[in-house]
A and B are shown apart, each in its own frame.
Chain A
Amino acid sequence: MYRYDEFDAAFVRDRVAQFSAQVERRLSGALTEDEFKPLRLQNGVYLQLHAYMLRIAIPYGTLSARQLRQLALIGERFDRGYGHFTTRQNLQFNWIQLKDVPEILSLLADVEMHAIQTSGNCIRNVTADQFAGVAADEIEDPRPVAELIRQWSTAHPEFSFLPRKFKIAVTGAEEDRAAVAVHDIGLRIVRHPETGETGYAVLVGGGLGRTPMVGKWVRDFLPKPHLLAYLEALMRVYNAEGRRDNKYKARVKILVHEIGIEAFRARVEAEFAQLDPQRIQADASEVERIARYFAPPAHADLPDNPPALRRARAANPDFDRWVEQNGFPHKVPGYQAVTLSLKGIGEAPGDISSAGMRLVADLADRYSFGEIRVTHAQNLVLPHIRQEDLHDLWQALAAGGLATANAGLITDIIACPGLDYCALATARSIPIAQALATRFAAPERQREIGPLAIKISGCINACGHHHVGHIGILGLEKRGEESYQITLGGDAGNASAIGEILGPGLVAGDVPDAIERLVAVYLAHRKPGEVFVESVRRLGIQPFKTAFNAEIRHDAA
């Protein structure tokens, strides 16, 4: 894991002092609310329905046991004893008081954390594959470059007042687990077809929200030493030309769409041609310094699938199911990464108590080199578990209610906080997730249905990524009631796609039955081995649409 040096440590301390002074200036009236708002947002502070919310950055989703314990402490001391992991690998506290924020930021700085640029019209927290450094299909660990971008984008003098927020995601694997195509910039680490050198393929203009778009290739191969200069050029074009007349048209995807990817590419290249990459890029020794922090931990020399594991799996079907469902293959023999589901049946997706955080931290120390990952699906991952330890780990997790064996299944639902907390929401998200999880709770049924990603957003801003859910649910307001629009066929992975709307909006109570009907079409028509979204692709939307609309109560439209 990356560790702060004296410069990083000084920087976050300076930031805490700066924000403390900004709060004082706000209270004195020197700063108006309009002036203070972007400043607090760039420090992760939102004003929500019941309180302030603080969003803490977990860069590229990598967290240490020590950091997680500190989050548990903050949750207890300043919040209501729990936190919420988000779809951008961050953590939110929902009940924060503004007067406490400087102290909280100081506690975060103690463990090399911050809340910088988790909101606001700036370059946001950089996200990455949660299985970075673990997955066998990885060309290179994406975290060193994500860390480089984190540093470069922090308090950027030119790009802190952009037309709108700007999100960057990186993956170094063949399979895209970081949804890079739906980010403002998506970076894929690739190997040059001729030279074999590693560099970046750059996607631009993806995003969800009101106008969902899949990113377009703007550069097939960017040599590593050119990265920061290229990003600077691209951001400069966006900052100068991105629309500022309408916040719903201000993301870079709209600029790319309006002028076309060819023109956009030409402008970025023209800007880039004027820059000297060597003056902007970190030098090789600095890049190497960062990369060293992400060197693999000292894995032992172990056999795959040891007898102890085989015996435990054979003896305990629940454990066996958990390993099968929540395990992820590790590139080192004898190890496994496991997903800790924060989607217990009836729970709020992504929520975890301070006690739960401490349990995970302790288990990470005992079994996973003290390391934890946060996934964009709002779960946690312990990345480096000895297969021979899996049973002990599972027992400890089960005792803490963290061994739900549903990773990737129909009850592993992504949901934003929605109108239970969020001031922007138009409808609630969490109760819909809870109702669906309860409806499909039976483990055998979930396994029979297989991989199926339901994603729920409580407003058009799409924090719940509904557009790229195999089944997406968008909460809106219609005639003074909450109404839910269902989409089908979205995908966040390599075959990224935006879901299509199935029909009229539903009242909350009708959502579970409607999802049942979609699942029934799949079960009736699937070919052997075909997962839900593959069937949707093969069959097209029509059979699902027909079933969906068969029993719609028209008064709900």
Chain B
Amino acid sequence: MSSAKLPPLPAILIANDLLTGDTVFYSGQGWTRHPGEAQIAEDEAASLGLEAAGQEAMRLNRVVDAYLVDVVLSAGGIPVPRHFRERFRLLGPTIRPDLGKQAEFPGLAAQAGQTR
């Protein structure tokens, strides 16, 4: 994939686990369910590296639909997507704060500056 298609930086790699469907993030070593553990690409070389990791994980049937998402690092240290769609995905349904990662990881929403 050409760098022209890469999103603005910084960026993280987001995907769904093939077997469970969970939203997962690439940590640099593997896939994590906690967005705070996502590897953040600060330059083009790093985001190309993330992109390659996504392609490889899809080839190995580990995840599906892996792509880069541009983020802003919150004061709480969470890479928060710039686009609202990916923000909802990071935390869970806005109408059900008792469900999704926002419920599973207490404090996540506050760290991400997305209190609901």
Q: Measuring CB to CB, which residues of chain A are less than 8 angstroms from any residue of chain B?
A: 26-29, 33, 47-52, 80, 95-99, 348, 419-421, 425, 428, 430-431, 434, 480-482
Contacts and interface: CB of A to CB of B under 8 A. Distances in A.
B96 interface: yes
Given A26-B18, A419-B84, 19 more contacts: A27-B18, A27-B61, A47-B64, A47-B65, A49-B85, A49-B89, A50-B22, A50-B23, A50-B92, A51-B21, A80-B99, A95-B99, A97-B21, A98-B21, A348-B96, A420-B88, A420-B93, A420-B94, A480-B82
Contacts of A28: 61
B58 interface: yes
Nearest to A30: B61
A49 to B, nearest CB: 5
Contact of A480 (B22, B61, B83, B94): B83
Contacts, number: 67
B75 interface: no
A430 B58 contact: no
Contacts of B88: 49, 419-420, 428
B19 interface: yes
Nearest to B91: A50
Interface in B55-93: 58, 61, 64-65, 82-85, 88-89, 92-93
Contacts of B83: 480
- Chain B: interface size category: 20 to 34
A52 B21 contact: yes
Contacts of A97: 19-21
B95 interface: yes
A97 to B, nearest CB: 4
Contact of B95 (A96, A99, A434, A481): A434
Nearest to A101: B21
Nearest to A434: B95
B74 to A, nearest CB: 18
B95 A420 contact: yes
A98 B95 contact: no
B81 to A, nearest CB: 11
A27 B92 CA distance: 26
Contacts of B21: 47-48, 50-52, 96-98
